[in-house]
Amino acid sequence: MGVLLAVLAIPVVLAGLAFWFVQRTTDAAAAELVLRIGGTVAGCLGGVVFSFAAVILSNFMIGKYHTPIGPLIAIGGNIVIVLFTYSVTGHRMLAALPGVAWFLTTIVLSQRGPGSDLLLQGNWVGVLTLLGGSLAWGISAYQVIDRHRTRPIDAARPAPSARVPESVARPDRDVDDA
């Protein structure tokens, strides 16, 4: 458990080093570049770490019953790494990269090892870990990417609050004639 906590601390340390450099430098372009690169690398490492934690804890059992700790870590971890990467880098497309690192690591860990060992099994917990984590990554990345997108205004159709009742729009027509 101590190794898992030590590995979880790697992205936090990298982000702290990036912030330390940004506070000490006077060049704004260099500081922004360091934040983007450092934030993306820290997010991708976080994706790998959350993938390892979700896969290892997907086999956690209490007695003879499986517990959904792995899927909860996969879902929560993917939401956290997307939001973390977006908040550090400020770039919407870079926020999707940690999810790719999570997905690739999870796929690699779901293959049989040299001793025919299988970490991510095909039971309901393994399937929920893979599907729930992918869905959480997809939805959170979509929300971050779509957050600031501007939508064109349809000028031909008035806004719902600007609609005029039919009796006002056609004064020559009586309301009772309809």
SS3 137: helix
**CA separation for the pair 72, 58 (Å, rounded):** 9
SS3 138: helix
The mean per-residue pLDDT over the stretch 103-121 comes to 84
Strands 61-62 and 65-66: antiparallel
Q: Are the C-beta atoms of 110 and 56 separated by less than 8 Å?
A: no
Buried b (16+ CB within 10 A) or exposed e, 72-92: bbbbebbbbbbbbbbebbebb
* Domain limits, the chain: 2-146
Q: Are the C-beta atoms of 52 and 70 separated by less than 8 Å?
A: no
Give me the pLDDT at residue 75, please: 94
Q: What are 28-81's pLDDT values in tens digits?
A: 777 788 778 888 888 898 899 999 999 998 888 898 998 899 999 999 999 999
- Tell me the whole-structure pTM to 2 decimals: 0.69
**Residue 164 pLDDT exceeds 70:** no
The mean per-residue pLDDT over the stretch 160-178 comes to 55
What does the mean pLDDT of the chain come to?
79
Question: How many C-beta neighbours within 10 Å does residue 163 have?
Answer: 10
Residues in the chain: 178
- Name beta bridge partners: 61: 66
